Amino acid sequence: MKKLLFACSLLVMLTACQERFSVEGRVDNAEKQTLYFEWQSLEGTQLLDSAVLKADGKFSFKEKMPANPEFYRLRMGTQSIPLAVDSLCHIVVTTDSATFNTSYSVEGSVQSQYLRELSLLQKQTLAAFDSIDAMWVSGKLKRDDYMDKMLACVRSYKDKA
Protein backbone atom coordinates (compact mmCIF):
# COMPACT_ATOMS: atom_id res chain seq x y z
CA MET A 1 0.00 0.00 0.00
CA LYS A 2 2.85 2.41 0.84
CA LYS A 3 4.51 1.68 -2.51
CA LEU A 4 1.27 2.41 -4.34
CA LEU A 5 0.83 5.70 -2.45
CA PHE A 6 4.44 6.69 -3.25
CA ALA A 7 3.99 5.83 -6.95
CA CYS A 8 0.75 7.84 -7.12
CA SER A 9 2.41 10.83 -5.42
CA LEU A 10 5.33 10.69 -7.86
CA LEU A 11 2.95 10.48 -10.81
CA VAL A 12 0.98 13.51 -9.57
CA MET A 13 4.19 15.53 -9.15
CA LEU A 14 5.43 14.64 -12.64
CA THR A 15 2.06 15.45 -14.18
CA ALA A 16 1.90 18.79 -12.36
CA CYS A 17 5.38 19.62 -13.59
CA GLN A 18 4.32 19.00 -17.19
CA GLU A 19 1.20 21.16 -16.87
CA ARG A 20 2.83 24.18 -15.22
CA PHE A 21 6.23 25.78 -14.94
CA SER A 22 7.57 28.10 -12.29
CA VAL A 23 10.00 30.98 -12.20
CA GLU A 24 11.13 31.98 -8.75
CA GLY A 25 14.06 33.56 -7.03
CA ARG A 26 15.22 36.68 -5.27
CA VAL A 27 15.95 40.30 -6.16
CA ASP A 28 18.12 41.89 -3.49
CA ASN A 29 17.68 45.57 -2.53
CA ALA A 30 14.30 45.80 -4.26
CA GLU A 31 11.84 46.27 -1.44
CA LYS A 32 8.52 47.75 -2.64
CA GLN A 33 9.59 47.58 -6.31
CA THR A 34 7.36 45.79 -8.80
CA LEU A 35 8.68 42.78 -10.71
CA TYR A 36 6.81 41.87 -13.89
CA PHE A 37 6.64 38.43 -15.52
CA GLU A 38 5.98 38.71 -19.26
CA TRP A 39 5.57 36.46 -22.28
CA GLN A 40 7.36 37.54 -25.43
CA SER A 41 5.32 36.33 -28.39
CA LEU A 42 5.63 37.17 -32.06
CA GLU A 43 2.73 39.60 -31.67
CA GLY A 44 4.42 41.48 -28.83
CA THR A 45 4.96 41.33 -25.09
CA GLN A 46 2.11 40.27 -22.83
CA LEU A 47 2.03 40.83 -19.07
CA LEU A 48 1.29 37.56 -17.25
CA ASP A 49 1.81 38.46 -13.60
CA SER A 50 3.54 40.87 -11.27
CA ALA A 51 4.69 41.04 -7.67
CA VAL A 52 5.55 43.90 -5.34
CA LEU A 53 8.72 42.68 -3.65
CA LYS A 54 9.05 42.54 0.11
CA ALA A 55 12.23 43.10 2.14
CA ASP A 56 13.54 39.58 1.41
CA GLY A 57 13.10 40.13 -2.36
CA LYS A 58 11.65 36.66 -2.97
CA PHE A 59 9.23 36.06 -5.82
CA SER A 60 7.43 33.15 -7.46
CA PHE A 61 5.43 32.95 -10.68
CA LYS A 62 3.62 29.91 -12.08
CA GLU A 63 2.15 29.57 -15.53
CA LYS A 64 0.72 26.93 -17.80
CA MET A 65 3.41 25.01 -19.68
CA PRO A 66 3.48 26.19 -23.31
CA ALA A 67 2.88 23.64 -26.06
CA ASN A 68 6.09 24.80 -27.76
CA PRO A 69 9.29 26.42 -26.46
CA GLU A 70 8.60 30.09 -25.68
CA PHE A 71 10.44 33.19 -24.53
CA TYR A 72 9.55 35.02 -21.33
CA ARG A 73 11.18 37.76 -19.32
CA LEU A 74 11.37 39.23 -15.86
CA ARG A 75 11.20 43.02 -15.98
CA MET A 76 11.87 45.68 -13.39
CA GLY A 77 11.51 49.20 -14.71
CA THR A 78 13.25 49.32 -18.09
CA GLN A 79 15.60 46.42 -17.36
CA SER A 80 14.72 42.83 -18.25
CA ILE A 81 16.07 39.30 -17.91
CA PRO A 82 15.28 36.97 -20.83
CA LEU A 83 14.13 33.41 -20.09
CA ALA A 84 13.46 30.39 -22.29
CA VAL A 85 10.87 27.80 -21.30
CA ASP A 86 10.63 24.46 -23.01
CA SER A 87 10.17 21.15 -21.19
CA LEU A 88 11.56 22.44 -17.91
CA CYS A 89 9.28 23.34 -15.09
CA HIS A 90 11.44 25.18 -12.53
CA ILE A 91 13.71 28.17 -13.19
CA VAL A 92 15.49 30.05 -10.40
CA VAL A 93 16.79 33.61 -10.91
CA THR A 94 18.90 35.55 -8.42
CA THR A 95 19.92 39.17 -8.92
CA ASP A 96 20.23 42.61 -7.34
CA SER A 97 18.09 45.61 -8.26
CA ALA A 98 21.17 47.76 -8.97
CA THR A 99 22.57 45.30 -11.51
CA PHE A 100 19.29 43.61 -12.41
CA ASN A 101 20.00 42.58 -16.00
CA THR A 102 23.79 42.64 -16.02
CA SER A 103 24.77 40.53 -13.03
CA TYR A 104 22.26 37.78 -12.42
CA SER A 105 22.29 34.00 -12.16
CA VAL A 106 19.79 31.62 -13.67
CA GLU A 107 19.46 27.93 -12.81
CA GLY A 108 17.24 25.18 -14.12
CA SER A 109 17.35 26.22 -17.78
CA VAL A 110 20.41 25.80 -19.99
CA GLN A 111 18.67 27.82 -22.73
CA SER A 112 18.15 30.73 -20.31
CA GLN A 113 21.84 30.57 -19.38
CA TYR A 114 22.72 30.85 -23.08
CA LEU A 115 20.32 33.80 -23.40
CA ARG A 116 22.08 35.43 -20.45
CA GLU A 117 25.49 35.10 -22.14
CA LEU A 118 24.13 36.43 -25.44
CA SER A 119 22.36 39.34 -23.76
CA LEU A 120 25.52 40.38 -21.91
CA LEU A 121 27.54 40.08 -25.12
CA GLN A 122 25.04 42.35 -26.89
CA LYS A 123 25.33 44.95 -24.11
CA GLN A 124 29.15 44.86 -24.36
CA THR A 125 29.03 45.20 -28.13
CA LEU A 126 26.62 48.14 -27.96
CA ALA A 127 28.86 49.84 -25.40
CA ALA A 128 31.83 49.35 -27.76
CA PHE A 129 29.79 50.82 -30.65
CA ASP A 130 28.92 53.85 -28.52
CA SER A 131 32.57 54.36 -27.59
CA ILE A 132 33.75 54.13 -31.20
CA ASP A 133 30.94 56.43 -32.31
CA ALA A 134 31.91 59.01 -29.67
CA MET A 135 35.51 58.99 -30.95
CA TRP A 136 34.20 59.49 -34.51
CA VAL A 137 31.94 62.39 -33.51
CA SER A 138 34.73 64.08 -31.55
CA GLY A 139 37.05 63.82 -34.57
CA LYS A 140 39.53 61.43 -32.93
CA LEU A 141 38.99 58.81 -35.66
CA LYS A 142 39.25 59.04 -39.41
CA ARG A 143 36.51 57.45 -41.51
CA ASP A 144 38.55 54.34 -42.42
CA ASP A 145 39.62 53.76 -38.81
CA TYR A 146 36.02 54.20 -37.68
CA MET A 147 34.81 51.60 -40.18
CA ASP A 148 37.63 49.19 -39.28
CA LYS A 149 36.83 49.39 -35.56
CA MET A 150 33.08 48.95 -36.13
CA LEU A 151 33.63 45.93 -38.38
CA ALA A 152 36.04 44.44 -35.83
CA CYS A 153 33.32 44.76 -33.19
CA VAL A 154 30.82 43.03 -35.45
CA ARG A 155 33.28 40.20 -36.22
CA SER A 156 34.06 39.77 -32.54
CA TYR A 157 30.36 39.60 -31.68
CA LYS A 158 29.70 37.03 -34.39
CA ASP A 159 32.64 34.87 -33.30
CA LYS A 160 31.55 34.84 -29.67
CA ALA A 161 27.83 34.47 -30.38
pLDDT tens for residues 100-128? 999 999 999 999 999 999 999 999 999 99
Q: What secondary structure letter does DSSP report for 17? A: H
Q: Report residue 3's pLDDT band, with 50, 70 and 90 as the boundaries.
A: low
- Residue-level pLDDT at 10: 44
Decide: helix, strand or coil at residue 120.
helix
pLDDT digits (tens, 9 = 90+) for 48-92: 999 999 999 999 999 999 988 999 999 999 999 999 998 767 999
Q: Cα 13 to the chain's mean position, in Å?
A: 26
Mean pLDDT of the chain: 89
Sign of CA dihedral 15, 108, 41, 61: positive
**18 pLDDT above the threshold of 50:** yes
Helices (H), the chain: 2-19, 110-137, 143-160
Measure the CA–CA gap between 17 and 68, rounded to whole angstroms: 15
Beta strands 90-96 and 105-107: pairing type?
Answer: antiparallel
**12 pLDDT above the threshold of 50:** no
Question: Per DSSP, what are the bridge partners of residue 21?
Answer: 63
- Residue-level pLDDT at 19: 84
CB atoms within 10 A of CB 25: 22
pTM: 0.76
The residue-averaged pLDDT of 4-30 equals: 69
Question: Per DSSP, what are the bridge partners of residue 46?
Answer: 39
- Rounded percentage of the chain residues whose pLDDT exceeds 70: 88
